[in-house]
Amino acid sequence: MLLETQFAQLRKSFYHDPSPAYAARKLCLKTLRIQLLAAQAELYRAAAADFGQRSASETRLLEVLPSINSIDYSLRRLKGWMKPQRRHVGMLFWPASNHVEYQPLGVVGIIVPWNYPIFLALGPLVAAISAGNKVMLKLSEFTPEINKVLRQICQTALAGHVVVIEGDATVAAEFSQLPFDHLLFTGSTAVGRHVMQAAAQHLTPVTLELGGKSPVLIGPDIHFYDYADRVIFGKCANGGQTCVAPDYLLVPAGKEQRAAEKLRAHYQQMYPQGCQSADWTSVINPRQWQRLQQGLQDAAAAGAQIISCGQPVNADDPLRRMDLQLVLNAPLDTPLWQQEIFGPVLPIYGYRSTKEAIEFIRARPRPLAFYLFSQDKELQQRCREQIHAGGVCINDTLVHVGQDDLPFGGVGPSGMGHYHGKEGFLTFSHAKAVHQKGRFSSGMFGYPQRRAKLLDKVLDFWLGYRISDAERPDDTRQAEHQQKGN
What CA–CA distance (Å, rounded) separates 104 from 110? 15
Pairing type for strands 246-252 and 345-351 reads: parallel
Q: Give the pTM.
A: 0.92
Find out whether 176 and 110 touch, Cβ atoms under 8 Å: no
Query: 93 pLDDT band (50/70/90 cuts)?
Result: confident
What CA–CA distance (Å, rounded) separates 298 from 72? 46
Residue 460: per-residue pLDDT:
79
Residue 1: per-residue pLDDT:
66
pLDDT at 458 over 90: no
What CA–CA distance (Å, rounded) separates 329 from 349? 7
Residue 259: per-residue pLDDT:
95
Residue 360: per-residue pLDDT:
97
Catalytic (active-site) positions = 209, 243
Residue 481: per-residue pLDDT:
54
pLDDT at 71 over 80: yes
DSSP assignment of 398-411 equals SGGGG-TTS-EE--
Write the pLDDT tens digit of every residue in 368-383: 999 999 999 999 999 9
pLDDT at 15 over 60: yes
Write the pLDDT tens digit of every residue in 397-425: 999 999 999 999 999 999 999 999 999 99
Lowest mean pLDDT among 160-169, 320-329, 350-359, 461-470: 461-470
Residue 451: per-residue pLDDT:
72
194-216 average pLDDT score: 94
Query: CB-based burial of residue 96 (10 Å sphere; 0-12 exposed, 13-18 middle, 19+ buried)?
Result: middle
333-357 average pLDDT score: 96
Residue 454: per-residue pLDDT:
75
What CA–CA distance (Å, rounded) separates 414 from 220? 28
54-65 average pLDDT score: 96
Query: 358 pLDDT band (50/70/90 cuts)?
Result: very high
Helices (H), ranges, 159-285: 169-176, 189-199, 228-236, 256-270
Lowest mean pLDDT among 14-23, 45-54, 443-452: 443-452
335-344 average pLDDT score: 95
Query: 196 pLDDT band (50/70/90 cuts)?
Result: very high
What CA–CA distance (Å, rounded) separates 179 from 270? 47
Number of helices (H) and strands (E) in the chain: give both, helices first: 18, 18
Residue 282: per-residue pLDDT:
96
pLDDT at 306 over 60: yes
pLDDT at 486 over 80: no
For the chain, what is the mean pLDDT? 93
433-462 average pLDDT score: 78
In the chain, pLDDT over 70 holds for what percent of residues?
Answer: 96
Pairing type for strands 206-209 and 214-218 reads: unpaired
pLDDT at 480 over 70: no
What CA–CA distance (Å, rounded) separates 486 from 327? 93
Write the pLDDT tens digit of every residue in 99-158: 999 999 999 999 999 999 999 999 999 999 999 999 999 999 999 999 999 999 999 999
Amino acid present at 113: P
Residue 463: per-residue pLDDT:
80
pLDDT at 478 over 90: no
Query: 253 pLDDT band (50/70/90 cuts)?
Result: very high
